[in-house]
Each structure stands twice: as structure tokens, then as C-alpha cells.
Amino acid sequence: MQVPAPFEYQRVHSVDEAIALLDRLGDTARLVAGGHSLIPMMKLRLANFEYLIDINELHDQLGYIRVEPGLIRIGAMTRHRELLESDELAAAFPIFRDAERVIADPVVRNRGTLGGSLCQADPSEDLSAVCTTLGASCVVQGLDGERVVPMEDFHQGPYETAVGDAEMLTEVRFPVRPGGSSAYEKVERRAGDWAVVSAGAAVWLDGGSITDARVGLAAVGPNTAGIPGIADVMRGRPPGEELYARAGDIAAEACSPATDRRGSAEYKRHLARELTVRVLRRAVARAGRQEA
């Protein structure tokens, strides 16, 4: 039987209450949202805490997808199923629906949250790659108010984030620019598994040429990584297979996969290249349909 080591359970009803409790308990405490990554880690004794602070009652406050001009705000307690089913979100960023379809399974998606996924900081985690691809910013609240951390600074290594002991991720913000679209693809050993490698792409077009392109990769380094070199190569050029192939080469070169049970480093590098090509191709096709 797998059960976590003993801990004290605490439930909070507001962000302020959570932060005050975290401030008092320090690193002996951890927030639990959906719990579908943290509880398994605690069962395996990979994570041990004296206190677990349950923030599920905050779903009413922090479970939302707000579409504003130029910006989408998603509350940290928004669950996978809500992200999957939001037509507004899929219209702005089809990458979310692509990714959510291949995250775990429908029952797990009823519990898991955006905030929990990002704070887990697993190098293979899909929504981290999505947020990296979309250039998201993370709103982190502490005792003295909130600060905004760009996605590239949010993850500081495997299972480590910029969130301090007395802080909490409350919202993720996504800039919306016209003329863009996005896509996500994952190679996994079995349906719903962690990625062997996955890639997200977001592109913006204007009058037949690319104005910006972003690619985010999961499972090929200590954290999900954006590949800025790809934007430099693609900007100002018309989209096409040759350009995607060059971007794929850059992705394969920039990543740092490790050989493990999911595959060899060489195979993962191949996937990084191929998946980059595929997601760029699909994102451009989607952006083109939007323009037409």
C-alpha cells in the first residue's frame, strides 16, 4: 500500500490565509491543488512535508479564464478539464486544446490544475511547455503584494520554481497578438504518459511573411525551454518547409536531452527536430486559415 508519510492537513479559504500560513510554517509546508503529481511523489517519499495546505476551496476565486483585449488571464486553480473545454481559449490559443487532449486522462484532468502543473516544474510537463511557447507571465503573490515573473525565469531547475516559501502562484497571463496561431504535439510511450519529447509552436503572420515565431520544448533539458534562435531565423520570411526544417535543426541543436528509460538522447534530439517541424507547419496552417 502506498500512502504518504504522516503530515498535518490544513485547509484555507483565501489566498491571504494561504500565504499567512506559508509564512508561519516555512519550507515544512507545501500547497496542494489537484494533488495528482504531489500526492504520488509523497507516496514514494520523493517529497515529504510536515504540513500540507489544501487550496482546493480557492477554485471559486482562482478558477477562471478571462479573455481581455490583448491579454488572457487564467487563474492558477483552473483545472485541466476547464482548459480543454474552453472554446474561447481554443480560439485564441489552439495549443491549449492540443496539449490538454494528451495530458493524463479525463478523470485526472478533472483534478489537475494549471498552477499545480507549473509549480511541479517537471521537465516533461506539458502545460509548462505551452506557457513557455506562449511567452506567459506568472503572477506570484506574497506578503507584500504580487510580482510578475516571466516564464523563462519561473522554472529554476527540475522541480524548482521562483515561488518563495511564503508565496503562491495565483494567475498566469498570456499576451494576445493578432495574426497568430499555435499548435502542440507530444510523443509518449503510451496514451496520457509524460512526454518522451513534446513541442509547442506559436507563429504570427502578416501579409504572407512570418513576423514572429516561438517554439517551446519539454523533456529535453532541466526545464521546458523556449528556443529564441528560431524566431531570429523565421522573422520576415515566408513560411515553408525549408524554413521549418531549419527551425527543426536549431531546436535539435539547442536542446540537451538525456538518455533514460523513455529513450536515448539521440532519439529525443530527432524528436525535437521532427516535432518542431510539425508544430510550426500546423501553427502556420491555422494562422493562414484565420487570415483567409
Residue from 22, 92, 104, 254 in contact with another protein (CB under 8 A): 104
Which grid cell sits at 228?
A: 529564441
If one counts every other C-beta atom within 10 angstroms of the C-beta of residue 281, the result is 17
- Check residue 45 for interaction with another protein (CB under 8 A): no
Closer residue to another protein, CB minimum distance, 6 or 145? 6
Residue from 17, 54, 146, 152 in contact with another protein (CB under 8 A): 54
Residue from 17, 41, 90, 110 in contact with another protein (CB under 8 A): 110
Q: In the bound complex, what is the minimum distance in angstroms from residue 187's beta carbon to another protein?
A: 18
The region of 105-113, 127-135, 219-227, 274-282 touching another protein under the rule CB under 8 A is 105-113
Map the footprint of another protein across residues 223-262, applying CB under 8 A. none
Q: Which residue has the cell 486553480?
A: 77
Closer residue to another protein, CB minimum distance, 9 or 69? 9
The site map against another protein for 1-40 (x = CB under 8 A) is: xxxxxxxxx-x--------------------x--xx--xx
- 177 vs 213: CA distance, rounded Å: 12
Helices then strands, each counted (H, E), the chain: 13, 14
Q: In the bound complex, what is the minimum distance in angstroms from residue 4's beta carbon to another protein?
A: 5
Whether residue 169 contacts residue 139, with contact meaning beta carbons closer than 8 Å, is answered with yes
The region of 50-58, 221-229, 232-240, 276-284 touching another protein under the rule CB under 8 A is 50-58
The three-state DSSP-derived secondary structure of 151-170 is: HHHHEEECCEECCCCCCEEE
Map the footprint of another protein across residues 163-202, applying CB under 8 A. 191-192
- Check residue 56 for interaction with another protein (CB under 8 A): yes
- CA 144 to each of CA 4, 81, 166, 230: distance values in angstroms, whole numbers, following the listed order: 33, 32, 10, 38
Question: Which of 131-162 are b and which e, b meaning 16 or more Cβ less than 10 Å from the residue's Cβ?
Answer: bbbbbbbbbbbbeeeeeebebeebbeeebebb
* Nearest C-alpha neighbor of 251 from the set 282, 284, 225, 283: 225
Q: Which residues bind to another protein, rule: CB under 8 A? A: 1-9, 11, 32, 35-36, 39-40, 43, 52, 54, 56, 81, 104-108, 110-111, 191-192
